[in-house]
């Protein structure tokens, strides 16, 4: 949550103490329902098995989730917080989605050549943060510096082709460049190399890492009726790993055969190396800017940008019982926006369908605060 989610009258606090709980969750998928993407491990090469849940698997190329949770305490201008995050960005070709849709639903192949591409970036971490609030005449700026203990990560891609031969055999060839805590692509075992060698053990790696990031919030009150506010998550960020698991090489499954019913099972073999070692990872920043105004009734507009995508929204509001109720529309996602804002709590829900398990866009913001 940000200052943009509070009522305009509450931009500046004069109380000495403030405690709050905040949840800020954004999920968007061009293919599968986002509820299907909330697993703990992001499968780089198996993402197609999730996209197969869509009725239009060939339409999509990206799935995004950014989740943050905060337990925050503020004393005057000083801020301390416990926080957690869950971020991923998955990109894939329409052919990849279509191919795994066919596999999942036991359909016959509809052409002889498919271009396969998967790229996944994923971080799950817990953290501690400290911050400071700068108060000026009409401007409030909050800065938060967070330290992160990484619980899980994946970062890599698969790029290749699936070719159907005249004798109904097929070839899957491609390049792999993949870093991980847990190998979701080839199920590599995390065990040391030995002499004599043990089957499946090609070296052990560490499953820990750390990082830091800078978040900035702002709010500027033009006058009694107009306010602009926003937040930038991960204005700067970096995650470092001393010895992460790594797979670098080629896929080759030229001896596999399509099943008699037209279905198949992809079990790629691998030739290459396991260059486990240091790795540095960054997460795409998130930017949210909101304008609140009054033209006889409350109006608002907002734009959220991340991972190269922009999601503008527009809506109106109504004040009653010391609460502002808002209704709006998010254009890029074709989703309805419902907001409820009170001095001590906020709730926002954005979805493209009332059937939440089937939603391709799901945004939930929830906040509670108490000051004294």
Q: Report residue 242 as tokens.
A: 């001393």
Q: SS3 of 95, please?
A: helix
How crowded is residue 110: how many other Cβ atoms within 10 Å of its Cβ? Answer: 10
Q: Residues 62, 360: contact at Cβ < 8 Å?
A: no
268 band by pLDDT with thresholds 50, 70 and 90: low
Look at strands 323-330 and 298-306 and give their pairing. Answer: unpaired
DSSP state of 46: T
How much is the pLDDT for 172? 63
pLDDT of 23 strictly over 50: yes
Evaluate the omega torsion of the peptide bond into residue 196 and state whether it is cis, within 30 degrees of 0: yes
59 band by pLDDT with thresholds 50, 70 and 90: very low
Q: What is the CA radius of gyration of the chain?
A: 24
How much is the pLDDT for 63? 84
DSSP state of 364: E
Mean pLDDT of 271-290: 95
Q: SS3 of 3, please?
A: helix
Mean pLDDT of 128-153: 97
pLDDT of 267 strictly over 70: no
Mean pLDDT of 108-124: 77
Identify the residue with better confidence: 165 or 330: 330
Query: What is the spatial distance between Cα 27 and Cα 35, in angstroms, rounded to a whole number?
Result: 9
Task: State the burial class of residue 129 (Cβ atoms within 10 Å of its Cβ: 0-12, 13-18, 19+).
Answer: buried
Task: State the burial class of residue 131 (Cβ atoms within 10 Å of its Cβ: 0-12, 13-18, 19+).
Answer: buried
């Amino acid at each position: 949550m940000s200052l943009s989610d509070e009522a305009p009258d509450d931009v500046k606090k004069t109380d000495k103490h403030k405690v709050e709980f905040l949840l800020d969750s954004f999920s968007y998928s061009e293919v599968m329902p986002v509820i299907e993407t909330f697993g703990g491990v992001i499968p780089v090469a198996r993402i197609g098995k999730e996209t197969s849940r869509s009725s239009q698997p060939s339409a999509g190329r990206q799935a995004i989730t950014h989740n943050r949770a905060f337990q925050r305490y503020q004393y005057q201008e000083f801020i301390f917080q416990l926080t957690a995050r869950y971020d991923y960005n998955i990109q894939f070709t329409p052919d990849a989605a279509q191919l795994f849709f066919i596999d999942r639903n036991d359909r016959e192949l509809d052409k002889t050549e498919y271009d396969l591409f998967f790229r996944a970036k994923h971080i799950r971490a817990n953290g501690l943060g400290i911050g400071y609030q700068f108060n000026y005449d009409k401007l409030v700026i909050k800065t938060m510096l967070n330290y992160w203990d990484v619980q899980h990560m994946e970062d890599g891609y698969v790029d290749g082709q699936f070719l159907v031969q005249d004798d109904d055999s097929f070839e899957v060839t491609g390049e792999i460049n993949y870093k991980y805590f847990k190998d979701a692509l080839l199920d590599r075992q995390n065990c040391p190399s030995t002499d004599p060698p043990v089957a499946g053990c090609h070296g052990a790696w560490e499953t820990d890492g750390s990082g830091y990031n800078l978040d900035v919030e702002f709010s500027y009150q033009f006058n009694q009726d107009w306010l602009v506010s926003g937040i930038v998550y991960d204005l700067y960020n970096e995650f470092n790993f001393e010895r992460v698991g790594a797979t670098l090489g080629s896929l080759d499954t030229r001896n596999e055969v399509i099943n008699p019913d037209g279905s198949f099972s992809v079990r790629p073999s691998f030739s290459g190396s396991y260059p486990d070692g240091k790795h540095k990872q960054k997460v795409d920043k998130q930017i949210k800017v909101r304008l609140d105004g009054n033209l006889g009734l409350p109006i608002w507009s907002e734009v959220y940008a991340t991972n190269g995508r922009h999601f503008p929204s527009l809506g109106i509001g109504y004040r009653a019982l010391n609460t502002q109720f808002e209704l709006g529309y998010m254009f890029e996602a074709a989703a309805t926006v419902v907001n409820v804002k009170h001095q001590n709590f906020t709730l926002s829900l954005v979805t493209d369908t009332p059937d939440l398990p089937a939603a391709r866009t799901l945004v939930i913001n929830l906040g509670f605060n108490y000051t004294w």
